[in-house]
Amino acid sequence: MQTDSSFTFVLFGGTGDLSMRKILPALFEAHRAGGMLADSGKIVAVARHATDRGEYIQWVNEHVKPHVSKNGVDEAAWASFLERIEFVNIDLGKAEDFVHLRDAIQDLPGIRVFYLATGPSLFVPICHALASVGLNANSRIVLEKPLGYDLKSSNAINDAVGEIFAEEQIYRIDHYLGKEPVQNLLALRFGNALFEPLWRREWVESIQITIAEELGVEARGDFYDNTGALRDMVQNHLLQLLSIVAMEPPHSMDSDSVRDEKLRVLRALKPIDPRDIGKVAVRGQYHSGVIRGTAVPAYATEPGVKPESATETFVALKVEIENWRWAGVPFFLRTGKRLADRVAEIVVNFRAVPHSALGASALRAGANRLVIRLQPNETIRLYCLAKQPGEGMNLASVHLDLAFDQFFREGQMEAYQRLLLDVINGRLALFVRRDEQEAAWRWVEPILNEWKASNKPPKPYASGTWGPAASSAMLAQHGTCWLEEEN
């Protein structure tokens, strides 16, 4: 991915956790690779927790450097990367301070990218302040999640930002869309004649999408207690992955063609009747337990969490898509904290053969399945049945494995690196369009409202397990189970 596009990348929240762990390391990797970032490109960090460039560079050396380059830091590349970085100290709550930002960047070359790695409460004030000094023209703005608390608040933010920036200037980031296996899912479906004919209700029995975390809420208890797993993970990451899995072939890979097809999936999601939510939606909250031999506390005792909190840390859903391709195929979504393993994967369970002369084992559903793993290791694995060596026709599960780190010699590109390069180069296909976001909120809101109205507490589950038993029971009603393999 070579570029000659000159740019000025303005990073609001330049000393925040996201900047430290993801954004600046991703920009360094693009810089280190050579040719991905124009030599004239500049990074301008904006923050209050440093007084000048020297102090900020010291902070970058201390806090960002440990997060870059798994195989060690190329000191020459690191030194030249630091030369790209400028710093502006302003108070984001004071619009008059943005004059200093304008003066600092007005002579810098290329397209201007404003990355808002801040809390959502600052999105609109920052946009207004940028407009007040004329920095909204000929620029791009990147918005991190969460973008709103519900459909109304999401629309309010989008309306306010949309008055200042045109839709084609707005990049709503969802880092799962930048992951290599998600890109390979598109290649698998639309670049090969083998899978696409099977990618439909006649051949697919069910699909699972899981994003599981071993970590708890860490230092985000105050934020998380007002958000919960449904807002934090389902409304964005899981529904975006579902739309990629289920969408129709786009006529090309340009931004609107891809996003039009994702939108059709989101609009085809079967609305959940509030009376049926107990049957198709499970919410849980982790209690104390043991993860990898270490005792961990209950959610209700985490710092910043209300002791009687009813916030869910686990969600499992049965989802249906009302169109010809997927009618009758259940999609099972699952996400949670303090689960038994850290894993993100998509599992496509194909139907059993209609008749087998080889014995009952060939008739079980899910014997053929495709597993696209997003983390911790990125692989695509196709399972099928084969004869075991020896006498008789005894079948066993075997798999074909595409391990990207073994097959491709060059290093894989991290999600944030790909997405930041797409912003700089003006590629919108992997970013969420406003109408997609609205469709996702419309589908999620009835669940939120019913949970709030019911006053029923989330189902407890011990940390280090796979969540409430009700989650497994929901799949058992459909004759299937969650795929829970060891990494």
Backbone dihedral angles phi then psi of residue 317, each to the nearest 5 degrees: -135, 145
100 an active-site residue?
no
Residue in 147, 162, 126, 84 with CA at minimum distance from that of residue 424:
84
Strands 170-172 and 379-387, sheet pairing: unpaired
Three-state secondary structure call for residue 294: strand
Residue in 97, 102, 154, 152 with CA at minimum distance from that of residue 124:
154
User: Do residues 195 and 184 make contact, with C-beta atoms less than 8 angstroms apart?
Assistant: no
> Both ends of the chain: CA-CA distance in Å?
31
In single-letter form, the type of residue at position 125 comes to P
Residue in 242, 241, 259 with CA at minimum distance from that of residue 250:
259
SS (H, E, C) 3-35: CCCCEEEEEECCCCHHHHHHHHHHHHHHHHHCC
Residue 183 makes CB contacts below 8 A (sequence gap 6+) with 418
Backbone dihedral region for residue 428 (phi beyond 0: left; psi -120 to 50: alpha; all else: beta): alpha
Choose the catalytic residue: 63, 100, 175, 237: 237
Three-state secondary structure call for residue 24: helix
In single-letter form, the type of residue at position 32 comes to R
Three-state secondary structure call for residue 445: helix
| The CA-based dihedral angle spanning residues 200, 378, 340, 477, taken in that order and rounded to the nearest 10 degrees | 10
Rounded to whole angstroms, the Cα distance separating 185 from 454 reads: 39
Three-state secondary structure call for residue 85: strand
Residue 182 makes CB contacts below 8 A (sequence gap 6+) with 176, 241, 244, 372, 374
Place of tokens 């496509």: 348
Helices 151-162, 123-132: inter-axial angle, 10-degree rounding: 10
Residues designated catalytic: 237
